């Protein structure tokens, strides 16, 4: 709804439960650094 690309929206929605998705896992890692 915010206008993001579908892949970006999925990454944001799943990054705390990456489930084998390396991009989501990377996003989770950097989210934890903040």
**Cα–Cα distance measured from residue 23 to residue 2, given in angstroms and rounded to the nearest whole number:** 20
- Contacting residues for 9 by C-beta, under 8 A, at least 6 apart: 2
pLDDT score for 25: 86
Other CB atoms within 10 A of residue 6 CB: 7
- pLDDT score recorded for residue 14: 79
Walk along the chain (34 residues) and give the pLDDT tens digit of each residue. Answer: 678 888 888 888 877 787 888 888 888 888 888 7
pTM across the whole model: 0.60
Q: Report the distance separating Cα 25 and Cα 21, nearest Å.
A: 6
pLDDT for 17 equals: 80
């Amino acid at each position: 709804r915010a206008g993001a690309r579908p892949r970006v929206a999925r990454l944001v929605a799943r990054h705390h439960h990456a489930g084998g998705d390396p991009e989501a896992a990377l996003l989770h890692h950097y989210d934890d650094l903040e």
